[in-house]
């Protein structure tokens, strides 16, 4: 059989490959049906360097998928019907494959060798493309760096992007997910928020979804997102990344401490702390110390820099929730026609990041002044500031509304509304919360047995 060099055609060096490992992998699959499933979990057909081996692998999987016997006779017959048998070296070559291994015991080991060479070839391909684009100098350096990093990150995650899949290729995983969900003791399938009604409506913040949390200034966006971060990290044991473009990391941690300890933040700022408050703060510090919350307060962060940092946090700490405060403080990359287009591009990038990391990305957003001109000042989707693309890209849009924000005679009213105005895969509606401003904390409405009108 003539071995082609598809990956290295036209190059002086032969790309990384191990022909014997490929033969041994295929031979093992022909010897033992169980080995097919084990190998399939490791390899796809494009991992094979030799074109003939790719075709043989596809034929084996076709027989396996149709629950037919997989052996020398059935494989020879199928390849002949496909018109590939003679091109691949004839029946004699299939005999050589089975003769190349005495047992299928090492099938997975052979497959991992093939996979390693495949990754190296892809790394060469990506690197060559990057070098070529660098020489042309037709693109912005930051954008090129981001795309290069993304490509390398995808290789490290062993992912194939942009593949078109038939339902049969994913139906098994989908049913497995459904069965696992049915066994859950709770209905929460995503990152828990710590707010029962919100978790009831959303089943938690879902992987791959872009969540927008929007409100007018000083309505409590940062307070709520920090509460969500603490709840996810402490209750859900989910690593959380917070990118703060407005407040320092120290200020955010102070807020988190006061919220967790239920200590008046003004007393902390002025130093008027009693012994009891110090004890509560110390206990809260201990809980937060053991949590996986990462804060980046870099000023003037652009979207490519943020995505790069988020990827590293995902790779190093398996981040399960990303929070960005807030989108209007973000900078785009390159020349934009106007600010609206810039925000639109940033919004799309956040949605892509959520899918890439397979984690929810929550982005805070300002609202326009439109609610203040209406009789009912509750926010609407059209109030999202600077771009309609934010609404379009988001899977979930939530608004914070507090009547006391507008009605000064109701300044003692702690009632807040969390309005789910959009949810692509779930219901919309309004959740009542309690806003304890002195603690910078939102609490769920209390059950009757809880004192103080809040549910911790």
pLDDT for res 10: 46
- pLDDT for residue 356: 87
448 burial class (0-12, 13-18, 19+ CB within 10 angstroms)?
Answer: exposed
Q: How much is the pLDDT for 162? A: 40
132 burial via Cβ count (<10 Å: 0-12, 13-18, 19+): exposed
> Which residue's entry shows tokens 């320092």?
248
Please check whether residue 290 is in contact with residue 244, taking contact to mean a CB–CB distance below 8 angstroms: no
- What's this model's pTM, rounded to 2 decimal places? 0.62
Domains of the chain, by residue range, sit at 19-116, 190-455
Strands 415-423 and 396-401: antiparallel
Of 116, 149, 200, 246, which residue is the catalytic one?
246
Residue 236, pLDDT > 50, answer: yes
Per-residue model confidence (pLDDT) at position 449:
32
* CATH of the domain spanning 19-116, picked from 1.10.10.10, 1.10.1200.10, 3.10.290.20, 1.10.860.10: 1.10.860.10
Q: What is the pLDDT of residue 300?
A: 75
149-193 per-position pLDDT tens digit: 777 766 665 544 344 556 666 667 667 766 665 665 567 888 999
Catalytic site includes residue 246: yes
Q: Per-residue pLDDT tens for 71-113?
A: 999 999 999 999 989 888 889 999 999 888 988 889 999 999 9
Span of 43-47, 79-83, 280-284 with lowest mean pLDDT: 280-284
According to the model, what pLDDT value does residue 303 have? 81
The DSSP bridge partners found for residue 211 are 362, 396
pLDDT in tens, 354-387: 998 999 999 998 887 877 777 788 888 888 866 6
pLDDT digits (tens, 9 = 90+) for 389-435: 788 888 999 999 988 887 776 666 788 899 999 999 889 999 999 99
Please state the CATH superfamily assignment of the domain spanning residues 190-455 in this structure. P-loop containing nucleotide triphosphate hydrolases (3.40.50.300)
Residue reference for tokens 């494959």: 97
Answer whether residue 450 shows pLDDT above 50: no
Percent of the chain with pLDDT over 70: 84
Pairwise pLDDT comparison (368 vs 123), residue with the higher score: 123
């Amino acid at each position: 059989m003539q071995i082609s060099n598809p990956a290295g055609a036209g190059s002086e060096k032969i790309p990384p490959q191990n022909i014997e490992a490929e033969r041994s992998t295929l031979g093992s699959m022909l010897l033992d049906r169980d080995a097919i499933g084990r190998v399939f979990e490791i390899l796809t057909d494009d991992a094979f360097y030799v074109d003939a081996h790719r075709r043989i692998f596809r034929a084996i999987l076709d027989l396996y998928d149709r629950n037919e016997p997989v052996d020398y006779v059935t494989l020879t017959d199928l390849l002949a019907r496909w018109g590939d048998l003679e091109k691949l070296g004839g029946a004699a070559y299939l005999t050589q494959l089975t003769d190349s291994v005495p047992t299928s015991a090492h099938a997975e080991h052979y497959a991992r060798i093939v996979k390693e060479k495949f990754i190296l070839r892809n790394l060469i391909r990506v690197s060559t493309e990057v070098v070529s684009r660098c020489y042309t100098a037709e693109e912005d350096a930051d954008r090129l760096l981001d795309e290069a990093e993304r490509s390398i990150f995808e290789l490290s995650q062993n992912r194939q992007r942009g593949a078109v899949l038939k339902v049969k290729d994913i139906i098994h995983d989908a049913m497995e997910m459904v069965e696992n969900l049915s066994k859950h003791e709770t209905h929460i399938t995503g990152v828990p928020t710590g707010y029962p009604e919100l978790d009831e409506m959303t089943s938690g913040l879902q992987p791959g979804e872009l969540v927008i949390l929007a409100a007018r200034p000083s309505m409590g966006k940062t307070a709520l997102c920090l509460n969500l971060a603490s709840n996810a990290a402490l209750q859900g044991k989910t690593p959380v990344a917070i990118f703060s473009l407005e407040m320092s990391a120290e200020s955010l941690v102070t807020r988190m401490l006061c919220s967790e300890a239920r200590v008046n933040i003004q007393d902390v700022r002025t130093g008027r702390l009693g012994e009891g408050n110090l004890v509560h703060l110390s206990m809260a510090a201990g809980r937060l110390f053991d949590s996986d919350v990462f804060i980046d307060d870099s000023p003037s962060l652009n979207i490519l820099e943020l995505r790069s940092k988020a990827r590293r946090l995902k790779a190093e700490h398996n981040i399960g929730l990303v929070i960005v405060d807030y989108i209007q403080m973000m900078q785009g990359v390159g020349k934009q026609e106007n600010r609206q287009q810039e925000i639109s591009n940033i919004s799309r990038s956040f949605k892509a990041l959520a899918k890439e990391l397979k984690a929810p990305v929550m982005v805070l957003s300002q609202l326009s002044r439109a609610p203040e001109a209406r009789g009912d000042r509750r926010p609407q989707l059209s109030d999202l500031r600077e771009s309609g693309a934010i609404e379009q890209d988001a899977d979930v849009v939530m608004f914070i509304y507090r009547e006391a924000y507008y009605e000064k005679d109701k300044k003692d009213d702690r009632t807040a509304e969390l309005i789910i105005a959009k949810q692509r895969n779930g219901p919309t509606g309004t959740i009542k919360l309690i806003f304890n401003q002195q603690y910078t904390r939102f609490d769920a409405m209390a059950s009757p047995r809880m004192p103080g009108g809040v549910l911790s």
